[in-house]
Amino acid sequence: MILDWFDARNAVACGHSLADAFLRDQVPAGGAHRRSVHSSGSRAQIQTFLQRAAREARPLRLNVFKRAKLIGSFKWRLLEAGVEPDAVEELTHLLLLQLSGGAAVATERTRLPAPSEAQADRSRRVPALLADADARFAQGAYAQAAELLEQVIGLEPRHAFAHNKLGASLARLGHYAQADEHFRRAIELKSNFADPYFNHGLLLFWRGDIAASETALRRAVKLDPKNDEALVSLGVSIGSLGRFADSRECFEKALRLKPGNARALSGLGWLESVHGRGEAAEQRYRQALQLEPGSVAALTGLGELRRMSPADREWAERVKTVIAAGVPPIEEVSLRFALGKYFDDIGRFADAFAEFKRANELHKLVARGYDRGARTEAVDDVIRAYDAERMAVPPVGAEETERPVFVVGMMRSGTSLVEQIIASHPQASGAGELDFWHLAASKQPQIARQAPPDAPLARKLGAAYLKVLKEHSDVALRVVDKSTFNADYLGLIHRVFPRARFIHVRRDPLDTCLSCYCQHFVNAMSFTMDLADLAHYYREYHRLMAHWRSVLPSDLWLEVPYSQLVADQEGWSRRIIEFLGLSWDPRVLEFQKTERVVLTASNWQVRQKIYSSSVGRWKNYQKFIGPLLPLRDLTS
């Protein structure tokens, strides 16, 4: 298992133990820790120590990563104890050679060079190690590159280029937390070095921190304006934030710098897809594949454009070939989700689930783990902060407007479909998934989890939110915000907008959770990557929605069962439009013709006529989804 490969806890403990033993045996009593420990009288003792280290490390079966962690923990333990840095570096180097099988450390004549000799040795070895690491990296031998770069950093701890390259190697091996540390260290050591900003920006995007990703990538582009790859990554980042014109400008500028940039062409294809221009998107993706047959962005983009069929077998075989050739884990995640969708579309459900499971296991490597206890506590806090007694008190500082409409529900429950129906009305507009309330609560957690905002803050929030809605439409009487995470903030929203309406979309919990598990959420919602975590999250969501249903005014709350909506499209569309206080317009029945940006994972589905084939989909996977099956008890 990949996770076992990176489980270095025993290696770290061994490094600490060896350092403590060395300090105890080598440093004279009285604590003269700052003196050199490699006097001529200690040669035999050092040799004995290295042999002991080999014996203790052998049962750990060290791979390159675990060996590096052992060496690192050993080194920093000595430095913390006050041992002379030059001596630590040389001793660490000898230990590395010993653990790597280097025979030179086993002779009785072994001694640690004097500082002047050490400096000369570093000057000779570092360039050769860097050149070798670059060659290994270019060949895709990232583990070997990482080992060489660890040696460089052992010799020159402040080598910014080595830290950046080591971070890139570790990222491609799938160990993102360690990669993050080395990118940050490279930036700290050399603030005008563009590469670590670029690499760190990519990593932040993978981990779902899009705003921070944009900041890092903008810095990379500023330092290196002709870096077409940094421009493409910036375009993807700001496009994910909904700034499509700026995103397109980045892709087009990258293509001017390098006309054959396949990622830039794929970026333009993605922009076409979110605007509903499927044929134009496919053309861009195929142009990218002509230039780069293994383009991950183009292959995954094609897979997500439409429902696939057995005629797409050539696409599937190419995806398998790219995976077999070896790609970084985060790119393998995208490819396996796309391949899983292909198998699901053609009815090969066992193959589909195998791909989805592999994708999620890999995705866990980059995501912050889901904390079930913290989620339960958060829901408890929200229910206490907005209990029935507080919700019955007339709000102060509120905005008396009916313009905001909030469509809520679990992700993959049909919220995009309901938004598209509403947005097809000439007096309504869809704003997509706004992060306004999540950001507001992040800055001032007390308004979400302790008590409603006071009058001045409520007025401030109301004015700011209406400004955001105005940016989406100046004229619409109703503007829909369909962020699924707004479910946590309905009490807060009601205190600010007491006339706002809430539409709760309910879908079968098994269908909903299965669909989440099969979807690549780039913002790394880690609860979607594990079936047991999904079951826990859904139960907490169900508990919270039951609370809102009980404390919000019934005339402002509409339940829309997804299965009934797809079975009786017109009947439920009429109920939704009437609930919003709008007159009926038959154009909402042809929502698939409405041209608008849809940034969610459902962007191709909401451009199809309504269909019911996804109802009861979980039955195709019943034997694989054991942790979800108890959710059948949750019927309302």
Tens digits of per-residue pLDDT, 507-558? 999 999 999 999 988 655 789 999 999 999 999 999 999 999 999 999 999 9
pLDDT of residue 49: 82
d(CA 486, CA 525): 15
Query: What angle do helix axes 372-385 and 531-551 make, rounded to 10 degrees?
Result: 0
Assign 3-class secondary structure to 503-561. Answer: EEEECCHHHHHHHHHCCCCCCCCHHHHCHHHHHHHHHHHHHHHHHHHHHCCHHHEEEEE
pLDDT of residue 596: 44
d(CA 599, CA 518): 18
pLDDT band at 39 (very low <50, low <70, confident <90, very high): very low
Spatial CA neighbour of 96 closest among 53, 136, 55: 53
311 Cβ contact list (under 8 Å, min separation 6)? none
pLDDT of residue 209: 84
pLDDT at residue 99 greater than cutoff 50: yes
pLDDT at residue 456 greater than cutoff 80: yes
pLDDT at residue 112 greater than cutoff 50: no
Q: What is the DSSP secondary structure assignment for residue 395, as one 8-state letter?
A: P
pLDDT of residue 356: 96
pLDDT band at 33 (very low <50, low <70, confident <90, very high): very low
580 Cβ contact list (under 8 Å, min separation 6)? 405, 422, 428, 478, 501
Across the range 83-94, mean pLDDT stands at 76
pLDDT at residue 232 greater than cutoff 90: yes
d(CA 388, CA 93): 66
pLDDT of residue 635: 65
pLDDT in tens, 155-177: 889 999 999 999 999 988 878 88
pLDDT at residue 332 greater than cutoff 80: yes
pLDDT of residue 181: 93
453, 378 Cβ separation under 8 angstroms = no
pLDDT band at 589 (very low <50, low <70, confident <90, very high): confident
pLDDT of residue 481: 94
Distance of CA 413 to the CA centre of its chain: 21
With a pLDDT cut of 90, the percent of the chain lying above it is: 56
For residue 171, how many C-alpha atoms fall within 13 Å in the half-sphere facing its CB?
24
pLDDT of residue 139: 83
pLDDT of residue 3: 37
pLDDT band at 593 (very low <50, low <70, confident <90, very high): low
Assign 3-class secondary structure to 88-139. Answer: HHHHHHHHHHHHCCCHHHHCCCCCCCCHHHHHHHHHHHHHHHHHHHHHHHHC
pLDDT of residue 108: 36
pLDDT of residue 538: 96
pLDDT of residue 2: 36
Mean of the per-residue pLDDT values of the chain? 85
Query: CB-based burial of residue 192 (10 Å sphere; 0-12 exposed, 13-18 middle, 19+ buried)?
Result: exposed
Question: What's the pTM value of the predicted model, to 2 decimals?
Answer: 0.73
pLDDT of residue 110: 41
pLDDT band at 32 (very low <50, low <70, confident <90, very high): very low
72, 149 Cβ separation under 8 angstroms = no
Concatenating the DSSP letter of every residue in 224-242 gives -TT-HHHHHHHHHHHHHTT
Instruction: Find which of 246-255, 356-365, 521-530 is predicted with most confidence, using mean pLDDT.
Output: 246-255
Across the range 94-98, mean pLDDT stands at 76
With a pLDDT cut of 70, the percent of the chain lying above it is: 87
Across the range 206-213, mean pLDDT stands at 85
Q: Across the strands, what pairs with 406? A: 481, 502
Across the range 225-254, mean pLDDT stands at 93
Across the range 226-238, mean pLDDT stands at 94
pLDDT band at 29 (very low <50, low <70, confident <90, very high): very low
pLDDT of residue 380: 97
Across the range 84-110, mean pLDDT stands at 62
- Amino acid (one-letter) located at 148: L
Give domain 372-631's CATH architecture: 3-Layer(aba) Sandwich (3.40)
**Secondary structure element (H or E) that encloses residue 50, with its range:** helix 43-57
pLDDT of residue 102: 47
242 compared with 477, residue with greater pLDDT: 477
pLDDT of residue 479: 95
113 compared with 406, residue with greater pLDDT: 406
pLDDT band at 128 (very low <50, low <70, confident <90, very high): confident
Angle at 440 between CA 582 and CA 208, to 5 degrees: 100
324: three-class secondary structure by DSSP? helix
In order of 11, 170, 403, 523, 525, the CA distances from 3 in angstroms are: 15, 14, 49, 21, 19
Spatial CA neighbour of 172 closest among 144, 142, 199: 142
d(CA 417, CA 248): 26
pLDDT at residue 67 greater than cutoff 90: no
pLDDT of residue 472: 86
Spatial CA neighbour of 508 closest among 562, 444, 436: 562
pLDDT at residue 366 greater than cutoff 90: no
Least confident of 109-123, 159-173, 373-387: 109-123
pLDDT of residue 15: 85
pLDDT of residue 289: 94
Q: Considering Cα of 311, then 313, then 316, then 318, what sign does the dihedral take?
A: negative
